[in-house]
Structure 1
Amino acid sequence: MINKNFNSIFVLLLTLGVTFTSCSDDDDDNNDGGDNYDSVTLYASNNSNGNISVYDFESEQNIETKTLITSSTAADGIFYDDDSESVYQVSRSNNSIEGFANIDDLVSGSVLNADFLGTNDMSSPREMAVNGNLFVVADNADVDGDDTTPDGRLFVYTYSGSSFSLRNVITTDFKLWGITFIGNDLYAVVDATSDLAVFNDFLANTTDATVSATKRITIEGIVRTHGITYDGSSDTLIMTDIGDATNVEDDGGFHIISGFTNKFNAVANGDVMAVSGNQVRVSGSSTLMGNPVDVAYDSDNDVIYIAEAGNGGGRVLGFSNFSAGGNIAPSFNSGLASASAVYLED
């Protein structure tokens, strides 16, 4: 999908500062770097210059990278649609969704002009979740002007195929960051806490309203959560932990919850999901995570990708040896200043 006229991988590693080491076999024979590796493409946004970074993993050892230039100066949530070869990201500098069509054959350094634009409605947009032609963006700006009362907003946009229109706005009684759909249910991390909330049949809310979560639980072991992703094929949910927001170098991590559906249903509203028996935690100085703000999971190749906003100024990290958890080094490490979001297309 991505233009192949790149320099050798050796030159690429030197010029882009990418380091990559062989991934270990965990439980998946696909993750051997050979013929069984499923090629994937990772898209990343950032709050440094608003450009889009594309990482094309042909194999564990063969990675091609390109940067697409946008007019935004800061961006967050990102999504790719394979049918139209279009990428969409949330512009924090313009407070809107911007879409760019037919990007697959563009070369690195190409300047993008927005093909699909949304209205400038938001104040502090973060993650984006997509369900059909509905794009939902979490905004973590204070709604009522009182920072002692946590709240946030979920902006719901209808995509017509050529533009975005604001359908409705849902106000929440907690601060927002990462969001993801599981079916028609919207799962949201509760910013500034270790909690996870769900809004069942979220899109049935079609008018502006204040809506309470259907259920909210605490994820034991997390200090402050930001990123979230769910893989339906393996029923795995992953949440990131930025730890102390003032420490951007080495106190971050992520939690893996396999068999998520039954485990979440077994915890009553307001209760705690224990680490023991339910979760695997990856954290520590070797992980290079201080402020992991978003996450994507390649379940075919057993690799977890992290948008790390703080450590070393920002990175995109990949972990393939996470099954036992602990203080492990990433198997993929590419510098990206103020990395803010990642999206995996396989």
Structure 2
Amino acid sequence: MNRQIFAIFLPIVALLCGCTKDDNKPLLQSTVSRLYVSNADTDASVMSTIIFDPADGAKLDIPDKFDTKLPDGNGIVFDPFSGTVFQVSRQAKNIKSFTVKPNGSLTNKASFIDDGLISAREIAFDRVRKTLYVASNTDSSLYVYIGADTIAGTARASKKLKLNGQPWGIHFENGSLFVVIDQDKAQVQLFENASSLVVGTIVPNKTINVIGARRLHGITYSSSRDALILTDIGEATGSGSASDGKVYIIEAALAKFTAMGAAITPTRTISGLATGLGNPVDVAWDSRADKDLIYVAEKANKAIQVFKFGDNGNATPFRTAALSSSPEAIYLDAR
């Protein structure tokens, strides 16, 4: 083959075989809607992780169950670019990563224990910097692990960041970290350029305070829709605690954050007896236009509740999956 023909032939081969790879695109796969659930149960007979696949069908079918051996499971997150699930055990202070096979099953990837991790709750992942953020409520801290999927054995956080309140839900998007502050603040703090935060006490760039909120827990945000969704567990125990939960939907959200900390009223609030919300500890959102479904981990009533994005007031769930376990955290892979 002469050089001229070879020069023409090479790009044709590259085009046909798809030899180039774009690291900015998630794993190529047919339409996916997969809900990962982390269970807070400490009984060894209860599987720590369950997966609804698909999560957007006519009903939530019986989920697949996996014994990830993470008692008191809390935060769980999936990175579609590497096909990795991260999950944390509050009791064992153990962070594990798993590879997701095409059929949705999990295989062990890496595992480490940080015995200095006081009270792990939600987690968030910065895929560009391979960095995992873990909220720890009782010591008002964020633990930061760089290269989390390659750490093994015993380890310490790359950085420990101190907050002025107790964090619970966290969400990472476009370089920024949203942090829900539990207990008396009913606040969401926004840390822009989160990777630049240095060890010690950190101050948010902007905040919002949700009027009427009791105890904020779950959070999710979509930059393409500029909408923020939060959950409020109300009272954790006692009379009425199994029916006083709320979901807040805040549209045109980013402009509502201010340096002074604006007090805002949600665009819509889902609450009331018909909702089945008692302790909605976490939330996920399928923001695709033809779906627009909100998934809620309802811990007190052991269920996954699904609402429509446009729901308001005392709305009946669009779908419900009754569980035999106590869901603590959820993550939705929808693409």
Calculate the TM-score normalised by the size of structure 1: 0.77
**Greater gyration radius:** 2
The answer to whether the Cα contact below 8 Å between 1:99 and 1:117 also exists between their aligned partners in 2 is no
1:153 aligns with 2:141: yes
The answer to whether the Cα contact below 8 Å between 1:45 and 1:341 also exists between their aligned partners in 2 is yes
1:79 to 77, 80, 95: 77
CA–CA distance in structure 2, aligned partners of residues 332 and 183 of structure 1 = 31
CA–CA distance in structure 1, aligned partners of residues 147 and 282 of structure 2 = 24
CA–CA distance in structure 1, aligned partners of residues 47 and 96 of structure 2 = 11
Flag the structure with more relative contact order, 1 or 2, with Cα contacts below 8 A and sequence separation at least 6. Answer: 1
CA–CA distance in structure 1, aligned partners of residues 171 and 181 of structure 2 = 13
Alpha-carbon distance, 1:113 to partner:
4.6
Once the two structures are superposed, residues 286-308 of structure 1 have per-residue CA deviations (whole angstroms, 9 ceiling, x without a partner) of 11111111100001111000111
Alpha-carbon distance, 1:86 to partner:
2.6
The answer to whether the Cα contact below 8 Å between 2:132 and 2:148 also exists between their aligned partners in 1 is no
Instruction: Determine the structure 1 residue equivalent to 2:270.
Output: 282
Instruction: Determine the structure 1 residue equivalent to 2:15.
Output: none
SS of aligned partner of 1:249:
coil
Identical amino acids, percent of aligned pairs:
32
Calculate the TM-score normalised by the size of structure 2: 0.79
Q: Which structure 2 residue ranges, 5 or more long, are not aligned?
A: 1-30
Once the two structures are superposed, residues 211-259 of structure 1 have per-residue CA deviations (whole angstroms, 9 ceiling, x without a partner) of 1222333111322111111012211110111112224310001110111
1:42 aligns with 2:35: yes
Of 240-249 and 61-70, the range deviating more from structure 2: 61-70
1:54 to 51, 55, 61: 51
CA, structure 1 residues 162+45, in 2 after alignment: closer, same or farther (shift >3 Å)?
same
The answer to whether the Cα contact below 8 Å between 2:219 and 2:231 also exists between their aligned partners in 1 is yes
Number of residue pairs aligned between Structure 1 and Structure 2: 289
Query: In structure 2, what residue type is equivalent to 1:329?
Result: T
Instruction: Determine the structure 1 residue equivalent to 2:12.
Output: none
Q: Which structure 1 residue ranges, 5 or more long, are not aligned?
A: 1-37, 144-151
Alpha-carbon distance, 1:82 to partner:
2.6
Alpha-carbon distance, 1:88 to partner:
1.2
CA–CA distance in structure 2, aligned partners of residues 50 and 122 of structure 1 = 23
Query: In structure 1, what residue type is equivalent to 2:181?
Result: V
Once the two structures are superposed, residues 280-339 of structure 1 have per-residue CA deviations (whole angstroms, 9 ceiling, x without a partner) of 10011111111111100001111000111112xx2111112x414011111221123221
Aligned-residue Cα RMSD (Å) equals: 2.3
Alpha-carbon distance, 1:126 to partner:
0.2
2:112 to 113, 117, 122: 117
Instruction: Determine the structure 1 residue equivalent to 2:175.
Output: 184
1:333 to 306, 320, 330: 320
Instruction: Determine the structure 2 residue equivalent to 1:90.
Output: 88
